[in-house]
Each structure stands twice: as C-alpha cells, then as structure tokens.
Amino acid sequence: MARRVRTSPRKRPRQERSKATVDAILDATAHVLVREGYDKTSTNRVAERAGVSVGSVYQYFPNKEALVGELVDRYSRHITDMVVGELATLADQPPSVVAPRLVAAMIRLKREDPKLARVLREQIPRVGRMQRYEQQLDEIVAATTLYLARHRELLRAEEIEVMAFIAVHTVDAATHAGVVSKPGLDDETLARHVGDLVLSYLLRQPQS
C-alpha cells in the first residue's frame, strides 16, 4: 500500500515573527513554482529563495506538497473572502450592479499573477486540495444564493440555489480562462462579456 503524502502544515504560526517567516516561505514557493514548475520545486529551493534555512521550512511544512497545498488554500481563501465580503456590502444593490463589480474584481485578483493562477489551478488535484477548493466555492455559492433570494423578483427562474451554483462556477471558469489562456484579451472586454453572460442567464430581462 502506497504511503499517503501529508499535504497539510505541521503547525500554524502564532507570533508575528513566525507569521512573517511563513509568508516569506509561501511567497518563495509561489516564485519557485512559477519559475521552475512543480516537478523541480523543492523545499531546498524554496528555503534558498526565502532566505531561511531548510529547517525553518520543515518546522512548518513537511514537504513541497504541503507548501503548494497551503499556497492553494491562501489563494482561494483570498478570492472567497473578497466575493463574500462584496456580496454582504452590496446586498441591497441589484444584480445589474453587483455582477459586473464582482466579475471585474475576480479578474483583477487573477491578473495579479496569471502564471501563478494557472499553475495553482493545475496543481489542485495533485496536492489533495480539490475537496477544500470545492468547499470554498460552495461558500461563495451559499452567499450568492442568499443575495439572489433578496432579488428573486428579477430572476428568470425559481431554482435560486441552482442558478447561484451555475453563475459562480461560470464566472470562476470564464475569468480564469480569459486571464491565463488568452493574454491578448483586455480586462474590460473580458469583464463585459462575462458580466453580460451571467446577467442574461440570471435575469428575466436586461436591467438598466
């Protein structure tokens, strides 16, 4: 029976100094992962890039799978927190206002480092993060369902949870593809097309 590789951190940092060390290690992991690729990424390379000893890396992360897994979690949590926070702030605004803002925000987040966005998405299954990534998408779907329920009179269908699921996954996939797979596509055009797609799916008729 094959040995199961641990993909979670050994421990979480508690003090500000140790948090800064872990942040430096994760930033170094992102740099090495994008530049060298997953197969050539190692704890030694990450330690060298971060300017710490390999022992400092092992203090928190048992292997590169745990490093990449934690990087995936940090990236997807950043997106989740942004979307859920925006939905709470804009709860009373109609979808015609909210959808374009969220789409544009998703594009900006993924545009910060398109190469990292691509490699992390590719490695999600490899480092055992698919279930956790889907759970975070489910959190966004739940927040979107609550938001849409406040505006049900504008929606073209009654299955609000299903519509939220389709809309969230569509925006996630389309913005990712537009940023990482079509570099010549400008953000304004991408946001307009994805926003129009989602609104035409959600709403009874175009909203001004």
Pick the CATH number of 16-62 from 1.10.10.60, 3.30.930.10, 3.40.640.10, 1.10.4100.10: 1.10.10.60
* pLDDT tens, per residue, the chain with 208 residues: 344 444 555 555 566 777 889 999 999 999 999 998 888 999 999 999 999 999 999 988 988 888 988 888 888 888 999 999 999 999 999 999 999 999 999 999 989 888 888 888 887 776 666 777 788 889 999 999 999 999 999 999 999 999 999 999 999 999 999 998 887 899 999 999 999 999 999 999 754 4
pLDDT tens, position by position, 78-125: 899 999 999 999 999 999 999 999 999 999 998 988 888 888 888 777
In total, the chain counts a number of residues equal to 208
Distance CA 161, CA 152 (A): 11
Burial group, residue 139, by CB count within 10 angstroms (0-12, 13-18, 19+): middle
Q: CA triplet 173, 175, 180: central angle to 5 degrees?
A: 95
Pick the CATH number of 70-202 from 3.40.640.10, 1.10.357.10, 3.40.50.180, 1.10.10.1110: 1.10.357.10
Max alpha carbon distance in the chain (Å)? 60
Write out the residue limits of the CATH 1.10.10.60 domain(s) in the chain.
16-62
Write out the residue limits of the CATH 1.10.357.10 domain(s) in the chain.
70-202
